[in-house]
Amino acid sequence: MINAIILICAYVIGSIPSGLWIGKIFYKTDIREHGSGNLGATNSFRVLGKKAGTVVTILDILKGTAATLLPLIPYFNDSTIHPLILGAIAVVGHMFPLFAGFRGGKAVATSGGVLLGYAWPLFIILVLGFLIALKITKIVSLSSMLVSIIALIYSIIYVIVTGDVSLLILVIILTAFIFYRHRANIKRIKEGTEPKVKWI
């Protein structure tokens, strides 16, 4: 019973549509009707601006972290679900949110939040890597995919050093999610039509 409840909680946390709610409450704007139509942080920056985009990014990150740390709540002490599985469920919730017609974001920020909750040094490395890649390329989608590859390399080294295979398995799954959700972006990058950001 506890396992079922904690899995549901992880999905519900991931389903919180930060970009949609911030846009509607503070800007009277449904970001699904503008820009890329995506509910993630990138479209929030594009449609709502830097301040809102930053808030949405932080909230989306914290969703992944909160789900990963659910076992720390006393009520869930008896759960046998691995924290990374809970994080992965939150990522699914972000991509297919219960509260937004199952049309969500591309899971980059929430995936980062999962790593923040489980392996914070990797999270710091990825944030720095993302900012450097974005500064050079000006393309959010490309930077996100490059960072997922960095996470994969880190996880392989992590397994060699610690013997903990769970992180590598999660990163492989998240990397697959991220590349799958960026299919259209990959096509535009190849065609040279992918939008570039101007705020960094």
Instruction: Name the H helices within the chain.
Output: 2-15, 18-27, 41-48, 50-68, 83-95, 108-118, 120-137, 140-162, 166-181, 183-191
Q: For residue 115, tell me if it sits in a domain.
A: yes
Q: Is 138 exposed, middle or buried (0-12, 13-18, 19+ CB in 10 A)?
A: middle
Q: For residue 147, tell me if it sits in a domain.
A: yes
DSSP summary character for residue 193: -
pLDDT confidence of residue 188: 93
> Taking 70 as the threshold, does the pLDDT of residue 151 lie above it?
yes
Share of the chain above pLDDT 70, in %: 99
Q: For residue 10, tell me if it sits in a domain.
A: yes
Q: For residue 197, tell me if it sits in a domain.
A: no
Q: How confident is the model at residue 42 (pLDDT cuts 50, 70, 90)?
A: confident
Q: For residue 74, tell me if it sits in a domain.
A: yes
Q: What is the CA radius of gyration of the chain?
A: 17
The domain total for the chain is 1
> Taking 80 as the threshold, does the pLDDT of residue 200 lie above it?
no
Domain ranges, residue 80: 2-191
Q: For residue 198, tell me if it sits in a domain.
A: no
Instruction: Name the H helices within 16-102.
Output: 18-27, 41-48, 50-68, 83-95
- pTM here is 0.88
Task: Give tens-digit pLDDT for 97-137.
Answer: 999 989 888 888 999 999 999 999 999 999 999 999 999 99
Q: For residue 90, tell me if it sits in a domain.
A: yes
Closest CA to 36 of 174, 140, 192, 177: 140
Q: Give Cβ neighbours of residue 188 (< 8 Å, ≥ 6 apart).
A: 194
Please state the φ and ψ torsions of residue 54, each to the nearest 5 degrees: -65, -45
Task: Give tens-digit pLDDT for 18-38.
Answer: 999 999 999 999 999 998 888
Q: What is the C-alpha separation between 118 and 86, in angstroms, rounded?
A: 11
Q: How confident is the model at residue 39 (pLDDT cuts 50, 70, 90)?
A: confident
Q: For residue 135, tell me if it sits in a domain.
A: yes
> Taking 80 as the threshold, does the pLDDT of residue 198 lie above it?
no
